[in-house]
Amino acid sequence: MKFIFKRSVINIFIFFITISSFSQVTKRYSGISQIPEYSRMGGATTKNNINSENVNSVQAKVYLYPTYDNAAVISTTTNRKYSISNINLNLYSNSFDSEMSSDSLYVFDNKWLKSVEINNTMYKVYFDLVESDYKIYQVIYENDNFSLIRLDKIISKEIRDPLNINPPKISFGKGINYYIKNGSDMTKISLKKKSILQLFKDKKNIVMAFAKKYKLSYNKEKDLKKLFKYYDSL
């Protein structure tokens, strides 16, 4: 009995140490301004020129999420973790923004970020060799060999009227590019049957049969996750 009691006490002690250690790893804050060392994160504070009248319209065009009210876990390149509930992905600047007040935003420096998980969706920062810049990508699927990632962005298009001598109007919309990341290599890919099946190499016929059986699409992210998961199980 004494032995059982002592073992129980030891287990409880270990449990509380584990919980305490975890709480020290991820520090929780409602906003970026509450983090004591936020000024040393490499980001910058900028003026928010969006007034209350058009904030919903601008956020719908520029940001991925409707509001800043999003729960996120931020992992930094200095191996620190923070949990905040005020963040959004700016598609125009490809940056994470946190609303500090009604007239100011904190713009995170991508170089300082390793990953950001928002509402159970994982984003990772990788260096773009073509543009020599750090970019934010959403992880669709990831295994030991490669990752399927997407880059959300704002695209612009000129609308010209041949009968009008005035400068063309600029139309803005949202666009998505998909990539396969293998080590440091990143290759742009289209979500088409032929392109996706090439990733499965010698098992592509098995995967194709699986997709046909369960009527899975090659251009829908939720179906691609099922295909990659099945491929990894083979």
The alpha carbon of residue 204 and the mean position of all alpha carbons in its chain are separated, in whole angstroms, by: 28
Residue ranges of alpha helices (H) inside 26-169 are 55-62
Whether 158 has a pLDDT exceeding 90, the answer reads no
Sequence-separated (6 or more) residues with CB below 8 Å from residue 21: none
- Alpha-carbon span 25 to 176, nearest angstrom: 33
- This prediction has a pTM of 0.78
- Alpha-carbon span 160 to 100, nearest angstrom: 39
- Alpha-carbon span 197 to 190, nearest angstrom: 11
pLDDT, position 18: 38
121, 70 Cβ separation under 8 angstroms: no
Amino acid at 194: K
227, 220 Cβ separation under 8 angstroms: no
pLDDT category, 170, cuts 50, 70, 90? low
Return mean pLDDT, the chain.
Answer: 80
The alpha carbon of residue 79 and the mean position of all alpha carbons in its chain are separated, in whole angstroms, by: 18
- The pair of structure tokens assigned to 190 is 């289209």
79 DSSP assignment: S
pLDDT category, 38, cuts 50, 70, 90? low
Residue ranges of alpha helices (H) inside the chain are 2-25, 55-62, 193-197, 204-213, 221-233
Most confident of 10-19, 102-111, 178-187: 178-187
The alpha carbon of residue 218 and the mean position of all alpha carbons in its chain are separated, in whole angstroms, by: 21
The length of the chain in residues reads 234
Q: Please list the residues that pair with 232 across neighbouring strands.
A: none
Neighbours of 186 (CB within 10 A): 20
Higher-pLDDT residue of 210 and 35 is 210
Instruction: Give residue-wise pLDDT tens across range 88-143.
Output: 999 988 999 988 877 788 889 999 999 999 989 999 999 988 888 999 999 999 98
- Alpha-carbon span 104 to 69, nearest angstrom: 16
Q: Where are the domains of the chain?
A: 29-189, 191-234
86, 31 Cβ separation under 8 angstroms: yes
The alpha carbon of residue 15 and the mean position of all alpha carbons in its chain are separated, in whole angstroms, by: 32
